[in-house]
Amino acid sequence: MAEAKDDRDAVLAALDRLTAWPEMARSPQLTRFLDYIVNRRLDGDTQSIKAYSIAVDVFGRPADFDPQSDPIVRVQARRLRALLDQYYRGPGADETLQIVLPIGRYVPDFIEVDPSTQPAPAPAAPRFFDLDANENPAPRGHVTVSWFVLLIIAIGAAALAYSLSTWGPRQEQQVTQNGVMQQPSLRVMEFQNLTDDPSITASVSGVAVELVDRLQPLSFLTVDYGSRGEANAEPVRADGYVLTGIIRRDPGAPSNLQYSVILTDLTTNSVVWNRSLVVSERQLSDPGRIDRISSDILDVLGNPRGPLHTRARLFLTQNPLSGGENLYLCRLLFTMYRESSTLGAAERARSCYAALPESDQKTGIALAAAASLLAEETDSGKPSATAQLDRYRTANEMLGEAVRILPTNSFVWEQRARLHEVLGEHGLAEAAYGTALQSNPSNLDALAAHARHMAFIGRLEQAIPLAQRALDAHTIIPDWYYGVPTLVAIREGDFAKAGRYAEVYARSDREMGPVLAILAAEGAGDQAGVMRQLPRVLEVPSFRSVGIVTQLRRRITDPALLDRIRTVLAEAGVPPLSLVTAY
């Protein structure tokens, strides 16, 4: 792999093939972004490829645009890097000239590649849903003795010096001036290079920069970058967190590098999470390595169920909110609702958003969350189709406004995708899920929801790796994440496992959960299990209003799955008319 000369014809031909790729073509903003920076590079005008000019010329920002307060270019550059990486690992794998956008700058590189010399990625060991629904999964990132030895030796002195200079007086809890929990603050420190190779220092620093770049757009976290050379840096909030990292040679294979990071809670001065990643010699030459390293860390730190939010979640489980509502706590309550899908959790999140000042209620995140809560609301008595349609219509309008306010926000697009899915607009749902994951590949709820949707529309094989990654990244696994594992277990004939997963999934999905549980029980020859689940199916309000299969057809387009459901329910004694009409 070598830097290519600026052969205009070859580069423009590569650009044309890339922008014709459907995944790129459906994002006009990213296509314009890529075209802009490539042509400026070809014209020799690299000095003009800056955040300001890109924001004004490509994204239509006004002349007084401030790159420090508006992260549009950083966010879109990250999306573009992810798409480029996806293209060259998939449909563009045979390209001999690749357009690469390096981390930390906007001037593209044109790289000559010989596809025949590129080693094929090592196949991942199969481990589809190796978990037991009756047991809590082992916590990820737990601290071990060897970790303490390594980290005390490697960064103890630096951390101590840093703490003496910037850690303010301890506070006992994460509070605002009026005593209410606020969103956590995180400083990502420049990673330390403990190898004897100064040539990798830039890529070492690039990991921390990439982490900050991708965490800053999140609505539930305050993030900044800490360079060890900045003597006058602002102190970290005394109840905040610090992420520190080192890179060293892997003791077992010196040609490999080991990235090790720890998250320290400054309130207790304790390590609350760690991660160690090994990068092989082959992977070191991969231009996308920084993105993949940061993604593994971001799956945890960019997650509202992650260790940065443990204190706030505990606060919410132990205390009522009466006058202390804020956008951060409402966002966590919405996340907790997503975990259980209970009426109580929904009402608590709904009440939180309703109690916010009007200006906060009109923010993009609040509108998107409130829209989902409205769309997913169920009638307490006899279901009314008219009332439900009105809720969908209002939710759609709210989501349209949320997208207008935050056009590149992953959470907003995830909620829009969910509404499309409920309405049976599966093509629009797939596009919206794709946008959500382009905006934030570490939005695990969007990842898991996308996987579930693909499984229901007949793309189970494609859904498996997405669902597996979402499950692997969590210490708290929401019940609805078990939909894909249930379908996989049914397909593989492991009906005992399918039954366990379906029981968990049914707690969050009143429609599909009991139906999948019946499929599992029928496969296992457990007629008692079938009869136990059948009343739950027959009492679902949406089934009663239009018929069981009629309602499921809005969510499922996989004909084989629908036929199996129809056959099993008929054999269980459900009247044929109840499958297709109201009862």
For residues 249 and 347, membership in a common domain is answered with no
Q: Say what the pLDDT of residue 312 is.
A: 94
Longest dimension (CA), the chain: 76
If we measure between CA atoms, which residue out of 208, 212, 216, 230 comes closest to residue 162? 230
- Same domain membership, residue 306 and residue 325: no
Give the list of residues 6+ apart from residue 338 with CB closer than 8 angstroms, or none.
445, 478, 480
Query: Which CATH number fits the domain that encloses residue 297?
Result: 3.40.50
Distance CA 496, CA 507 (A): 18
Judge whether 287 and 111 are in contact, CB under 8 Å.
Answer: yes
Q: How many domains does the chain have?
A: 3
* Residue 1 pLDDT greater than 70, yes or no: no
175, 198: one domain: yes
Q: Which of 261, 294, 311 is the last residue of a domain?
A: 311
Is the pTM above the cut of 0.85? no
Q: Is the pLDDT of residue 318 over 80?
A: yes
Asked whether residue 204 is domain-assigned, the answer is: yes
* Domain contains 547: no
508 part of a folded domain:
no
Looking at the domain assignment, is residue 509 inside a domain? no
Centroid of chain to Cα 124: 21
Residue 168 has pLDDT above 50, yes or no: no
Q: Are residues 150 and 28 in the same domain?
A: no
Q: Find the mean pLDDT for residues 536-556.
A: 93
Task: Say whether pLDDT at 122 is over 50.
Answer: no
Of the three residues 423, 452, 468, the one that is the final residue of a domain is 423
Do residues 420 and 428 lie in contact, with contact meaning Cβ atoms separated by under 8 Å? yes
pLDDT confidence of 90, banded at 50, 70, 90?
A: confident
Does residue 69 register a pLDDT over 80? Answer: no
Picking from 281, 311, 341, the residue at the C-terminal end of a domain is: 311
288 and 344 together in one domain: no
pLDDT at 92 over 80: yes
Q: What are phi and psi of 54, to 5 degrees?
A: -65, -45
Task: Verify that 343 and 404 share a domain, yes or no.
Answer: yes
Q: Are 51 and 78 in contact (CB under 8 A)?
A: no
Is the residue at 57 inside a domain?
yes
Query: Of 129, 95, 135, which Cα lies nearest the Cα of 112?
Result: 95
**90 and 159 part of one domain:** no
pLDDT band of residue 14 (cuts 50, 70, 90) is very high
Strands 185-189 and 222-226 come out as parallel
User: What is the pLDDT at residue 129?
Assistant: 61
Indicate whether 104 and 216 sit together in one domain. no
Class of residue 537 by CB neighbours under 10 A (exposed 0-12, middle 13-18, buried 19+): buried
Phi, psi (deg, nearest 5) at residue 70: -120, 110
pLDDT of residue 152: 43
CA distance 178 to 86: 46
Question: Are 275 and 337 in the same domain?
Answer: no
Q: pLDDT tens digit string along 290-300?
A: 777 788 899 89
- What was the pLDDT predicted at 173? 41
Q: Other CB atoms closer than 10 Å to residue 336's CB: what's the count?
A: 20
How high does pLDDT run on average in the chain?
A: 84
| Cα–Cα distance measured from residue 251 to residue 521, given in angstroms and rounded to the nearest whole number | 50
Task: Give the CATH number of the domain where residue 370 resides.
Answer: 1.25.40
Same domain, 330 and 306: no
Q: Which of 204, 294, 215 is nearest to 246 (CA)?
A: 204
325 and 283 assigned to the same domain: no
- The model's pLDDT over 267-292, given as tens digits with 9 standing for 90+, comes to 999 999 998 888 886 776 665 667 77
| Mean of pLDDT values over 154-179 | 42
Number of Cβ within 10 Å of residue 497's Cβ equals: 20
91 vs 113: which has the higher pLDDT: 91
User: What separation in angstroms does the CA of 211 have from each of 191, 251, 537?
Assistant: 11, 26, 45
Q: 83 and 23 in contact (C-beta within 8 Å)?
A: yes
Instruction: Classify residue 384: in a domain, yes or no.
Output: yes
Q: In sequence order, which residues have a C-beta less than 8 Å from that of residue 317 and are 6 or more positions away?
A: none
Task: Look at residue 182 and tell me if it is in a domain.
Answer: yes
Residue 178 has pLDDT above 90, yes or no: no
Is 264 in the same domain as 183? yes
Range of the domain at 330: 320-423
Q: Could you tell me what percent of the chain has a pLDDT over 90?
A: 52
Q: Predicted confidence band at 132 (pLDDT cuts at 50, 70, 90)?
A: low
Residue 484 covered by a domain: no
Residue 167's pLDDT band (boundaries 50, 70, 90)? very low
Owner of token pair 């993949």: 292
